[in-house]
């Protein structure tokens, strides 16, 4: 595994696993919970150590239970979770404190590696209060890094007006359908690590080119796509219910794309 160093010195695995459909009937985001997550067990066995969770996914307690019951030591895990932007969680400082405390309980741990605001909070006072609570828990060592998700430039600018701790991460959609180039460049300029959600999304004609590129490296198109992102410093959190795909998504560290192939991908 390779790591990226966040702007506060914390090291984050450059590949992690998503969890938004784990432990749900028919692997459906809105499905009822099944109470078990064999996909997460297989991810841990295969070597995933970075786990992307969220309160909105409703399965934090299940994900937390699998992690707590696994033989992987806590210090090897990198647990990310996110507070929703809705009133219930951000309308007062105590509501945000209760959300963080509950996430700590769900993961059966006394610290989380990364805590994010899941979506922009449009009410400025609520945003400020939420970030101040994040900073409070960060200073107390209960959150090792704090960041945001789905923040556009103007949201980042708003946060900058009062933030004492700069966001370490902005988790945004980055894939070949939504390259999000401008925001990606802004994050890099600001020293905020971009994390790509939905990294596997690509049009069929793009997949064909990726598969073609992969032949020279004995890799699949999906692996080429992930390799492209990590080579340019984008953390990826692909999610799979299939152990073969989970394995493939970690098998990215024994090849390097040529400049010509990178150009081909950028022109897709
Ligand atoms: N911050 C946010 O607002 C936000 C929004 C969306 C998602 N997320 C996070 O990002 C994670 C990833 O995003 P996502 O789950 O939407 O999409 P994704 O990871 O881009 O794509 C998942 C799909 O790709 C397939 N796949 C995975 N690896 C593959 C491979 N090697 N070859 C072929 N197909 C492969 C999976 O099918 P199989 O199961 O069959 O492999 C699944 O259908 C989520 O789980 C969640 O944790 C965050």
Phi, psi for residue 254 in degrees, rounded to 5: -120, 20
Per-residue model confidence as pLDDT tens digits over 213-222: 999 999 999 9
- The fraction of the chain above a pLDDT of 90, given in percent, is 99
Give the domain CATH number at 105.
Answer: 3.20.20.100
Which residue CA neighbors atom 31 of ligand 1 most closely? 245
Strands 193-197 and 114-117 turn out to be unpaired
Q: Average pLDDT of the chain?
A: 97
- Residue that the structure tokens 């596997």 belong to: 200
pLDDT of residue 236: 98
Ligand 1 site, residue 26, Cβ cutoff 6 A: no
Ligand 1 site, residue 246, Cβ cutoff 6 A: no
Phi, psi for residue 75 in degrees, rounded to 5: -70, -15
> What residues make up the domain containing 101?
3-203+233-254
pLDDT of residue 97: 98
Could you tell me the pLDDT band of residue 244, with boundaries at 50, 70 and 90?
A: very high
Find out whether 118 is annotated in a ligand binding site: yes
Kindly state whether residue 221 falls inside one of the protein's structural domains.
Answer: no
Kindly state whether residue 144 falls inside one of the protein's structural domains.
Answer: yes
Please give the angle made by the CA atoms of 208, 230 and 81, to the nearest 5 degrees: 110
Kindly state whether residue 239 falls inside one of the protein's structural domains.
Answer: yes
Burial 181-202 (b: 16+ CB within 10 A, else e): eebbebbeeeebbbbbbbbbeb
pLDDT of residue 27: 96
- Does 228 participate in catalysis according to the annotation? no
pLDDT of residue 147: 98
Tokens representing 216 are 């020279």
How far is the centre of ligand 1, averaged over its atoms, from the C-alpha of 139 (Å)?
A: 33
Please give the angle made by the CA atoms of 179, 119 and 122, to the nearest 5 degrees: 115
Kindly state whether residue 263 falls inside one of the protein's structural domains.
Answer: no
Number of domains in the chain: 1
Interval 67-78 mean pLDDT: 97
Ligand 1 site, residue 81, Cβ cutoff 6 A: no
Please give the angle made by the CA atoms of 30, 68 and 134, to the nearest 5 degrees: 70
Which residue CA neighbors atom 29 of ligand 1 most closely? 245
Which is the closest atom of ligand 1 to the Cα of 226?
A: 31
Kindly state whether residue 212 falls inside one of the protein's structural domains.
Answer: no
pLDDT of residue 175: 94
pLDDT of residue 122: 94
- The fraction of the chain above a pLDDT of 70, given in percent, is 100
In order of 19, 26, 102, 122, the CA distances from 30 in angstroms are 13, 10, 21, 25
Ligand 1 site, residue 219, Cβ cutoff 6 A: no
Which is the closest atom of ligand 1 to the Cα of 199?
A: 20
Phi, psi for residue 180 in degrees, rounded to 5: 55, 40
Kindly state whether residue 216 falls inside one of the protein's structural domains.
Answer: no
Per-residue model confidence as pLDDT tens digits over 151-167: 999 999 999 999 999 99
How far is the centre of ligand 1, averaged over its atoms, from the C-alpha of 93 (Å)?
A: 32
Kindly state whether residue 266 falls inside one of the protein's structural domains.
Answer: no
pLDDT of residue 181: 93
C-alpha to C-alpha distance for 51 and 37, rounded to whole angstroms = 13
Kindly state whether residue 34 falls inside one of the protein's structural domains.
Answer: yes
pLDDT of residue 130: 98
How far is the centre of ligand 1, averaged over its atoms, from the C-alpha of 60 (Å)?
A: 17
pLDDT of residue 189: 96
Ligand 1 site, residue 252, Cβ cutoff 6 A: no
């Amino acid at each position: 595994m390779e790591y990226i160093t966040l702007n506060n010195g914390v090291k984050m695995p450059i590949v992690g696993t998503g969890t938004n459909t784990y432990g749900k009937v028919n692997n459906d985001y809105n499905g009822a919970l099944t109470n078990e997550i064999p996909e997460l067990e297989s991810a841990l066995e295969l070597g995933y150590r970075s786990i992307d969770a969220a309160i909105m996914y409703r399965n934090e307690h299940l994900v937390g239970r699998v992690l707590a019951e696994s033989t992987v030591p806590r210090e090897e895990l990198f647990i990310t979770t996110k507070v929703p932007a809705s009133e219930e969680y951000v309308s007062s400082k105590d509501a945000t404190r209760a959300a963080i405390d509950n996430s700590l309980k769900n993961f059966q741990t006394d610290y989380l590696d990364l805590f994010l605001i899941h979506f922009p909070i449009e009410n400025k006072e609520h945003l400020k209060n939420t970030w101040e609570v994040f900073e409070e828990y960060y200073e107390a060592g209960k959150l090792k890094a704090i960041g945001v998700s789905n923040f556009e430039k103007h949201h980042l600018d708003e946060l900058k007006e009062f933030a004492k701790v700069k966001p370490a991460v902005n988790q945004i959609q980055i894939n070949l359908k939504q390259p999000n180039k401008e925001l990606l460049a802004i994050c890099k300029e600001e020293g905020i690590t971009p994390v790509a959600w939905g990294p596997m999304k690509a049009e069929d004609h793009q997949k064909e080119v990726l598969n073609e590129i992969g032949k020279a490296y004995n890799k699949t198109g999906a692996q080429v796509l992930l390799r492209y992102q990590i080579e340019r410093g984008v953390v990826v959190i692909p999610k799979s219910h299939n152990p073969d795909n989970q394995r493939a998504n970690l098998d990215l560290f024994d090849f390097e794309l040529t400049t010509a192939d990178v150009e081909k991908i950028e022109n897709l």
